[in-house]
Amino acid sequence: MPFTTEELFINSSNSLYYGLNALSHNLIMADRKKLKNPNGLILGTPGSGKSFSAKREMANAILVTDDDVIICDPEGEYGNLVRQFKGEVIKVSSKSKDYLNPLDINSNYGDGDAPLKDKANFIMSMLELVVGGSGLTAEEKSVIDRCLPKIYEKYFENPEPCNMPILQDLYDMLKGQEEKVGKKLATEMEIYVSGSLNVFNHRSNVDLNKKLLCFDIKELGSQLKKIGMLVIQDQVWNKVSQNRGNKSTRYYIDEFHLLLKDEQTASYSVEIWKRFRKWGGIPTGITQNVKDLLMSKEIENIFDNTDFVLMLNQASGDREILARKLKISLPQLRYVTNSNEGEGLLFFGNTIVPFLDKFPKDTILYQKMTTKPEEVR
C-alpha cells in the first residue's frame, strides 16, 4: 500500500517511549513485557547513543512502572543518573568500602525449596574460577558440599545479618577437614581471604533492597573482574527470585561482549537469557562490539531468545553481518548507516520501525545521562 507506514504504539499504562517514528513522526510507545521474550540488545558504534537509550528507557521505567532496575556498569557512567533517582551505587573494587558478600543467602534464594543447594552451585562455580584450570575434582566438590551446611548452621538457627558466613568461615572449615584436598582448596582460596584480593571477604554493607541498583566495577582489577561479575550475577538472581510473582526486574549489562568472551561468564549470561523471562526478568545487553558478540559460541542462543533490538549507527562490516542475521532490507539499512546519535532501527517482535530521538539538552535528565566529557564536567 502506498502512503502507509508501520507504526509501533502500544496503548498501555506500562508503555515506554522509544523515540519518534522516522517516517511518520508519530510517537513510538512500547511495552517489552508484551513480547514473547522481553530480552533485549542495544547495538551501535561508540558514541551512537547506546548507553543513552538504555538510560532513557530505565529512567522512563522508574517513573511509570514499579519494576526494579539493576545495572552492571563496567565504565562507571551510570552513577549520576542512579543517584538522581535515589538509587544505590555500589562501587566494587579493592579501594572501595562498599562490600558484597558472595555467601549472602535468603529464604527465596534459587527455586525456593532448597536455597542452600542452589547456593552450593554458585559457590562451586566461584571456586572453579578460583582454582582455574579444569575446575574442581569430584573429591573437592564432595568436601565443599560437606562444609557448606556447617558454615550456614548458625545463620539458619538465627537468621541475623551478623550470623551470615563469609569466605573466611569457608576457608577455616575447609582447612579443618581431614582430606588433603580440603587444605589444598583452603590454600588456593587464601589470596581471596587474607591476601591482596580479599574484596569479597566481608559482610554486605550496602542497601540491596533499593528499587534501583548500580554495580560500578570500573575499578575492579582484571584478576577480580570475572569473579566480580559472577558475584553480581548472583545478586541479580537473588533480587529476581525475591521479586518473582510480584514485579519485574530489569537488568542492564553494558559492554556485554566482555561477558561473552569467556566461556564461564558466557554460559551464565546465556542462563539469564534462557531462564530470566519466567522469573519476570527483563535483561538488556549493550555492546559496540558486534564482531565479538557474533563470534561467541553462545550467540545463536542469545539471538534466538531476543525479541527486542535497538540498532543504532553501525560500522560497515557489522552492518552487512547484521543485515543477513536479522533479515534487514537495503532501504532499512539506510537508518543505521552514518546515522546521528539516537537514530536507528527498532526491532520489536515482528515489527521493525526506524526511529529518531533528539533528547532536549536543557534538562536535568540530559545532564545526568550524557557521557560527553565536556558536558559531564
Ligand X SMILES: Nc1ncnc2c1ncn2[C@@H]1O[C@H](COP(=O)(O)OP(=O)(O)OP(=O)(O)O)[C@@H](O)[C@H]1O
Which residues make up the interface to ligand X (CB under 6 A)? Answer: 44, 46-52, 288, 341-342, 357-359, 370-372
In the bound state with ligand X, the residue whose beta carbon lies nearer, of 25 and 372, is: 372
Q: Return the number of the residue (307 or 357) whose C-beta is nearest ligand X.
A: 357
| Cβ at position 67, least distance to ligand X in Å | 21
Nearest residue (CB) to Mg ion, 21 versus 51:
51
Distance from C-alpha of 318 to C-alpha of 321, rounded to nearest angstrom: 5
Query: By C-alpha distance, which of 259, 267, 223 is closest to 132?
Result: 223
Contacted entry of ligand X, Mg ion, none for residue 171, CB cut-off 5 to 8 Å set by kind: none
What is the smallest separation between the CB atom of 342 and ligand X, expressed in angstroms? 3
How far CA 255 is from CA of 86, 115, 272, in Å, comes to 24, 31, 16
Cβ 232 vs Cβ 97: under 8 Å: no
280 neighbors 245 (Cβ within 8 angstroms): yes
- Among Mg ion, ligand X, none, what does residue 238 contact (CB within 5–8 Å per kind)? none
Shortest approach of ligand X to residue 43 CB, angstroms? 9
Nearer to ligand X, 246 or 363 (CB): 363
Nearest alpha carbon to residue 299 among 348, 347, 260: 260
CB 44 within 8 A of CB 54: no
Pick 115 or 342: Cβ nearer ligand X = 342
Q: Which residues bind Mg ion (CB under 5 A)?
A: 51
Instruction: State the nearest-atom distance from the C-beta of 240 to ligand X, in Å.
Output: 25
Phi-psi region of 285 (alpha: psi -120 to 50; beta: other; left: phi over 0): beta
**Contact 110/118 with Cβ under 8 angstroms?**
yes
Smallest distance, Å, CB 55 to ligand X? 7
Which does residue 247 bind out of Mg ion, ligand X, none, counting CB within 5 to 8 angstroms by kind?
none
